[in-house]
Amino acid sequence: MKSAFDLSKYIEDIELCGLRGRMINAPATKKSAEKVNILLFHGHHSSLERMSGVAELLADYGNFCLPDMPGFGGMDSLKNVGLKPTIDNLADYMASFIKLKYGSQKKFVVVGYSFGFLVLTRMLQKYPHLQKQCIDVIGLAGLLHRDDIVFTKKRRAFYSISSRIVGSRVGSWVTREIFLRRWFLGSFYTKTHNAKEKFDNLDAETTKRMVNFEIHLWRINDVPTWCFTSREMLKADLVTGAKQLDIPVIQITVDADKYFDNAVVQQHMHIVYKDVKVIKAGAVKHGISAVESAKDVLPFFPVAVRNHLKSLQ
């Protein structure tokens, strides 16, 4: 059943740093939450629509905002302005967005989901003044270092090499014109190693809807950006030599996360952040799929996290 939450009402076009994109700008649904601002950094392979359930849920706790990141969700890529989609450059863009949205004084809670937490942390490292505006940092299944990823050396090498091939000019054209066609994705996507968990135990109608959404998502995301940022994660290191951030972080972990080693992530969290609180999610997988309501994402935001957000009102 579809949610009564109409995402289209809250999507706005933005133009920033020479790039065109969109953002969700949803006011708090409760009067008691009107003074709280919540900003979300989305994960890898994402869009505003994929985060619709998160928007619906978090709008109960504050004014919710989620911008596209360059190259994702149909937004212009950084190559349009002569830049590579490095973690640093994405962090710079998000810092510029915060200045546009919140100025230099307005405070906010910032949530980083998966890859988004990597970008978020790098932004705070590069722009220490933003720490004063952050009431809280929440990391949902996030990472800080390449060793957080559980891939074997063989799998890392495969992704590194294949992403260079696919992300090249010729490779990205071939990928988009052949492998990202509806007939190919519709036939094979649900059987791939990384995607099959999204479709476990679903009825035929839901599977069809989710496949159609994934096809759309793959088609609107910039292939070279996806490939380059995949390699950025495989070589990431925000830990070595890092000055500890004097800001509290809530780390939401997923026991069944097949991408990250939670124990290693936690060790790195304590190095990078001064105050770390770990809360286990009830989710049974790393990723938020194509969701339609707040109910779908409740397992990713445990009661303790929701109560904490409510306490800020």
Euclidean distance between CA atoms 63 and 116, whole angstroms: 19
Find the mean pLDDT for residues 275-282. Answer: 92
* Each residue's pLDDT tens digit, 155-164: 999 999 999 9
Pair 131, 124: CB distance under 8 Å: yes
pLDDT at 4 over 70: no
Task: State the Cα–Cα distance between residues 112 and 136, nearest whole angstrom.
Answer: 11
176 secondary structure, DSSP code: I
**How many other CB atoms sit within 10 Å of the CB of residue 127?**
17
Cβ burial 268-307 (10 Å sphere, 16+ → b, else e)? bbeebbeebbeeebebebbbbbbbbbbebbbebbbeebee
Is the pLDDT confidence value at 189 over 60?
yes
Give yes or no for a contact between 87 and 228, defined as CB atoms under 8 angstroms apart.
no
pTM, two decimal places: 0.92
Residue 278 pLDDT > 90, yes or no? Answer: yes
Q: Does pLDDT of 262 surpass 60?
A: yes
Q: How confident is the model at residue 1 (pLDDT cuts 50, 70, 90)?
A: very low
Residue 212 has pLDDT above 90, yes or no: no
Q: Return the pLDDT at 292.
A: 62
| pLDDT on residue 173 | 92
Q: How confident is the model at residue 198 (pLDDT cuts 50, 70, 90)?
A: low
Give the CATH number of domain 7-150+238-311; options: 3.40.50.720, 3.40.50.10800, 3.40.50.1820, 3.40.50.150.
3.40.50.1820
Give the mean pLDDT of the chain: 90
Band (185; pLDDT cuts 50, 70, 90): confident
Q: Give pLDDT, residue 122.
A: 98
With a cut of 50, say whether residue 2 has pLDDT above it.
Answer: no
Give per-residue pLDDT as tens, 285-311: 766 766 567 888 898 999 999 999 999
Tokens found for residue 30: 């409760």
> 255 falls in which pLDDT band (50, 70, 90)?
confident
Q: Where are the alpha helices (DSSP H) in the chain?
A: 52-58, 87-102, 115-126, 153-167, 169-174, 182-188, 204-220, 223-234, 262-272, 294-297, 303-311
Per-residue confidence (pLDDT) for residue 180, from 0 to 100: 85
Domain limits, CATH 3.40.50.1820, in the chain: 7-150+238-311
Percent of the chain with pLDDT over 90: 73
